[in-house]
Amino acid sequence: MNGTATRVPTHEPEIDFWFDFGSNYSYLSVMRIEAEAAARGVRIHWRPFLLGPVFRDLGFDNSPFVLQKEKGAYVWKDMERQCRKYGIALKRPTTFPRAALLAMRVALLGAQREWIAAYCRKIMQLNFAHDRDIGSMEVMSEALDELGLPAGEIIAEAQSDANKLRLREQTAAAAARGIFGAPTFFVGDEMFWGNDRLDDALDYCASVAASG
């Protein structure tokens, strides 16, 4: 023994992951975050929210990637590069951003359940790798069935008035926290925006826990 104490984290490090299924950069993070967080011993809090109302509150009636032609052209080239980098499939959606209200309601319902990560990856792949209409009841039912989940039961609960209200409240909470895009990560009050900040957010999260 050299007399130097080993610092042990006093609590499990946690990160809040705010995302929208219509967000292309959220796609990259959804596909990466579970493995990256596990490697650092970080627990994920999944925070689905609706980016559209946030954009409208900021004065945009659509995604900036649609409103600004040059930015949009760059973003899809960037997505091609990033997907090659991470080994993630990409097929540019014929509709962008694609409405996914039902899918988001299901995500909110499942946020504390064991199937949330697999579900989110499935929905993102349907949108950004297979160009499927994730806003449709048919595609949603098919996705849940393929995950071995009770589609009818989950969709009925997701469509309840209480769950619809919760999603509106969660979206308002995102705006109140200063979120202006997706994906966004919080470690306590420290905010990180964009897929390219996922690793920084997770490293920060782990370091804060280790120093606590």
The answer to whether 48 and 173 are in contact (CB under 8 A) is no
Report the alpha-carbon distance of residue 155 to residue 141 in Å, rounded.
Answer: 8
Catalytic residue, from 23, 26, 29, 63: name it: 23
Nearest to 129 by CA among 28, 1, 2, 13: 28
62 contact partners, CB below 8 Å, separation of at least 6: 55, 97
Burial group, residue 8, by CB count within 10 angstroms (0-12, 13-18, 19+): exposed
| Residue 23 annotated in active site | yes
Cα–Cα distance list, 168 to 1, 21, 49, 124, 189 (Å) = 56, 16, 8, 21, 22
Report the alpha-carbon distance of residue 19 to residue 192 in Å, rounded.
Answer: 12
Report the alpha-carbon distance of residue 212 to residue 210 in Å, rounded.
Answer: 6
The answer to whether 24 and 96 are in contact (CB under 8 A) is yes
107 contact partners, CB below 8 Å, separation of at least 6: 21, 46, 48, 116, 119, 120, 123
Return the active site residues: 23
